[in-house]
Amino acid sequence: MRYDADMVEPQVEPVRLEVNGIERRLFVAPHRTLLETLREDLGLTGTKHGCELGECGACTVLVDGVAVLSCLALTLDADGAEIVTIEGIGSVSHPHPLQRSFADHGAAQCGYCTPAMILTAKALLDRDPHPTDREITEAIAGNMCRCTGYLPIVRAIAAVAAEDRP
């Protein structure tokens, strides 16, 4: 489509999100994606942009506990939702067990898919703490990794699941 030079800016709308446990009230344009809001408005750059078409999975975040492609989610649609990004589950100083396990198993090479992969794994372990390797593999099948061949990622997730086993 062609835009007119004098086309008006789209109206912004209010939205309330709970991001990593903190309530954020924002005004965003209707076409703004959750990925854009997280990265550009809230500065949470741990969530990555890889294809902007929902193909690669690098933008995965948790919305009400479910792994969601934030590049395909409109921010306004997430009104009232609880959102967890990679910054919300741990840090270099206080890593989440999955973050520690990914590091120890060499599950990241370039690291670009890693935050999304970890959140996808977290969503899995939250609903099923003891998945089989096959279930882990199926859970991460929507997240592309170009470096590792996925094998150390599966090992990293399986190790956390095993640790947790009573």
Partner 1 sequence: MRIDPHHGVVGRAAPRTDALAQASGGLVYVDDLSYPSMLHGKILRSPQAHARIVSIDTSAAAALPGVHAVLTGADLPIAYGLLPVAQDEHALAIDKVRQVGDAVAAVAADDPDIAQRAVELIDVVYEPLPVVATMNDAVEIVDEPIHGDGPRNNRHREVSLDFGDVDAGFDRADHIREDVFFYQGNNHAALEPHGAVALVEDDGRLHLWSATQVPHYLHRIVAKVLEIPEHRIRVTANPTGGGFGAKTDVFAHELVAAKLALATGRPVKLILTREEVFYAHRGRHPVLMWIRTGFTGAGEITAMWFRTYVDGGAYGSYGPASLLYTGQLQTTTYRIPAYRFQGVRFFTNKPACGPKRGHGTPQPRFGLEVHLDKAAEDLGLDPVTIRERNLVHPFSTTVNHLRITSCGLADCIERVVEASEFRAKHRNLPPNRGIGLAVGAYMSGAGLPIYFNDMPQSEVLLKVDRGGLVTVYSMAADCGQGSTTMLATVVGEALGLDAADLAVVTADTDLTPIDLGSYSSRVTFMAGNAALEAAMKLADLILTAVADELELDTDDVRLGRGVVLAGDREIPWPDAVRMAEARWGLLTAAGSYKPPKGIRGDYKGAGVGPSPAYSYSACVAEVDCDPETGFVAVEQVWLAHDIGRAINPLLVRGQIEGSVHMALGETLMEEQAFRGALHDGPSLLDYKIPTALEMPPVEAILVESIDPEGPFGAKEVGQGPLLPVMPAVANAVHDALGIRVDEIPLRPDKILAALRDRERDGQGRYGPTDLPAYEFRPPLPVDPPPELR
Per-residue contact flags (x/-) with partner 1 for residues 68 to 87, judged by CB under 8 A: -----------------xxx
> Does residue 152 bind partner 1 (CB under 8 A)?
yes
Per-residue contact flags (x/-) with partner 1 for residues 12 to 51, judged by CB under 8 A: -------------------------------xxxxxxxxx
Residues 112/50, Cβ–Cβ less than 8 Å = yes
**In the complex, least distance from residue 160 CB atom to partner 1, rounded to whole angstroms:** 12
Q: How far is CA 11 from CA 2, 27, 39, 70, 132, in A?
A: 19, 9, 21, 21, 48
**In the complex, least distance from residue 128 CB atom to partner 1, rounded to whole angstroms:** 16
User: What are the residues whose beta carbons fall under 8 Å from the beta carbon of 84, sequence distance 6 or more?
Assistant: 19, 20, 61, 62, 65, 119, 122
> Does residue 97 bind partner 1 (CB under 8 A)?
no
